[in-house]
Each structure stands twice: as C-alpha cells, then as structure tokens.
C-alpha cells in the first residue's frame, strides 16, 4: 500500500479517493439494480405460480 501511495506521488490520497468513490457509487448502483431485478422476478414467479392473471380467471368475471 505504501509503495502504491509513493508511486502515485504527493496527491495519491486524491487519486485513491476518486477511484474509491467510483467503486462505491457504481458498486452500490449495480447491487441496487440487481437486487431490485431479483425481487421483481421472484414476486412475478410467485404470482404466476398461484395462477394470478390466467385467462380463465379473467373470462369468468
């Protein structure tokens, strides 16, 4: 770590902070989108398994 810091010169902290921000923000965005996708997929599968929205149900209304 100290070798990396010295290799990046006197402004290493600013460079690492920038890349840290990118990892945190994009990592958080990717996780949020993937979790949401998985949650919707599970909810849809559960509803379809119960037979919600079948044409026969709607036809009988």
Partner 1 sequence: MASLIDFANPTRFMRLSGTLLPWMTGAAMLLLALGFYLAWFVAPADYQQGETIRIMFVHVPAAWLALMFYTMMAVSGLGTLVWRHPLADVAQKAAAPIGACFALICLLTGAFWGKPMWGTYWVWDARLTSVLVLFLIYLGIIALWRALDDSARAGRAVAILTLVGFVNVPIIKFSVDWWNTLHQPASVFRAGGPTIHPSMLWPLLILALGFTLLGLGLHLVAMRAEIMRRRVRTLTILEAERLDRLAAQALPV
Which residues are at the interface with partner 1 (CB under 8 A)? Answer: 7-12, 14-15, 17-19, 21-22, 25-26, 28-30, 32-34, 36-37, 39-41, 43-44, 47-48, 50, 52-53, 57-58, 60-61
Q: Alpha helices, DSSP H only, in 1-61? A: 2-7, 12-49, 55-59
Tell the smallest beta-carbon distance from residue 18 to partner 1 (Å): 4
Tell the smallest beta-carbon distance from residue 48 to partner 1 (Å): 7
Distance CA 61, CA 51 (A): 15
Cβ atoms of 34 and 41 within 8 Å: the answer is: no
């Amino acid at each position: 770590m100290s070798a990396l810091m010295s290799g990046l010169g006197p402004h290493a902290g600013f460079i690492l902070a920038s890349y840290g921000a990118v990892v945190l923000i994009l990592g958080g965005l990717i996780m949020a989108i993937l979790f949401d996708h998985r949650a919707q997929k599970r909810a849809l599968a559960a509803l379809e398994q119960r037979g919600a929205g079948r044409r026969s149900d709607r036809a009988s209304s």
